[in-house]
């Protein structure tokens, strides 16, 4: 099962910037790691523009990486906030 793929499917479009896509991929990896204990850090992220053959961003995320920890925390808090803002089931519009 591909745990983080639905996140990519909902967010990534042909107009998504490379930076936004990279953040989405990290959120997707975090979701996969939460659901599947056989998936974990380190994660290598490498980005390059199509047809450039030149690396634009390369980073390895290890345990206790401050940026990856921030992504995980903000993603979790944002989801909880959003769920709290959604209307209750059974309530119309």
pLDDT (tens digit per residue) in 12-39? 999 999 999 999 999 999 999 999 989 9
Q: Quote the CA–CA distance of 41 and 1 in Å, as a whole number.
A: 19
Residues 46-86 pLDDT 10s:
998 888 889 989 999 999 999 999 999 999 999 999 999 99
Contact by Cβ (8 Å): 33, 40: yes
- Give the H/E segment covering residue 47: strand 43-48
Q: What is the pLDDT of residue 50?
A: 87
Q: What share of the chain is helix, strand, coil (3-state, %, to 5)?
A: 50, 15, 40
Half-sphere CA count of 59, side-chain side, radius 13 A:
13
Whole-angstrom distance, CA of residue 44 vs CA of residue 15: 24
Whether the Cβ atoms of residue 36 and residue 29 lie closer than 8 Å to each other: no
Enter the pTM of the model: 0.86
């Amino acid at each position: 099962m591909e745990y983080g793929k639905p996140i990519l499917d909902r967010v990534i479009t042909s107009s998504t910037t490379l930076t936004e896509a990279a953040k989405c991929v990290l959120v997707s990896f975090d979701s996969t790691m939460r659901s599947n204990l056989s998936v974990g850090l380190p994660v290598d992220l490498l980005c390059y523009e199509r047809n450039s053959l030149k690396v634009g961003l390369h980073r390895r995320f290890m345990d206790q990486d401050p940026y990856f920890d921030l992504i995980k925390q903000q993603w979790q808090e944002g989801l909880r906030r959003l769920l709290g803002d959604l209307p209750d089931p059974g309530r119309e519009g």
